[in-house]
Structure formats: structure tokens, C-alpha cells
Amino acid sequence: GAGVSQSPSNKVTEKGKDVELRCDPISGHTALYWYRQSLGQGLEFLIYFQGNSAPDKSGLPSDRFSAERTGGSVSTLTIQRTQQEDSAVYLCASSLTLQETQYFGPGTRLLVL
């Protein structure tokens, strides 16, 4: 079946602009996760959803970051007023439940100029 998909695959934006990153999880997966992969910080966890609910937003790097999930499916990560330090690969993963193996999408490579 189809895996986790993310769009866009690449995004170049100017400092100060807002960006939206999209994740389509595997059908039927109730849990969804966002991670960020950068040279300096490695792979870091941002936020997870159980259904449409995000119980803990403390992993988001700043209040410029927000995420939502609708219909228990698609999720959007929004970064407002982007900064150069936001440049990274943003990875999405989904799992059947919170207990199960996470499957990753190909990521969105974000470059903030």
C-alpha cells in the first residue's frame, strides 16, 4: 500500500515568510509524528498527534511553529515568520497506534534564505 507522503519535497522561502508543510499518513494510522533533521541538531522530535489531538506541544522549537491534523488523516506543520535557523528537513511519520512501529515519509527539505 501507499506509504507516508509529504509535500512539497523541497521548499525555498525568504526569511519572514510563512510556510506550510503537509503530511499524508498511511491510511488507518491513528498516530502521526513530526520530526526535524538538521546538521547541527540531528533528528529531533517536534510534536505528535493521536487522532486529531496533540497532547504535548512542548517539543515545538518556538511559538512560530504550529501543527494541526484534521479528519484523523492529513497533518499540516506551519512555520510563521521563518528564520534561517528553521532550514532543515522536516520528517513526518505515522503508526497504526502509539504502540506500533513508526513509518517515515521522504521529508520536506526547507531552505530559508
Partner 1 sequence: GDSVTQMEGPVTLSEEACLTINCTYTATGYPSLFWYVQYPGEGLQLLLKATKADDKGSNKGFEATYRKETTSFHLEKGSVQVSDSAVYFCALNYGGSQGNLIFGKGTKLSVKP
Q: What is the rounded CA–CA span in Å between residue 34 and residue 24?
A: 12
Rule CB under 8 A: choose which of 91, 94, 110, 112 binds partner 1: 91
By CB under 8 A, name the one of 48, 60, 73, 77 that touches partner 1.
48
CB of 36 to partner 1, least distance (A): 11
* 3-class SS letters over 41-110: CEEEEEEEEECCECCCCCCCCCCCEEEEECCCCCEEEEECCCCHHHCEEEEEEEECCCCCCCEECCCEEE
Select 55 or 71, whichever has its Cβ closest to partner 1: 55
Quick one: which of 23, 31, 54, 112 contacts partner 1 (CB under 8 A)?
31
Interaction between residue 111 and partner 1 (CB under 8 A): no
Q: Using CB under 8 A, pick the residue from 43, 62, 78, 81 that binds partner 1.
A: 43
Give 80 or 104: the residue with its C-beta nearer to partner 1. Answer: 104
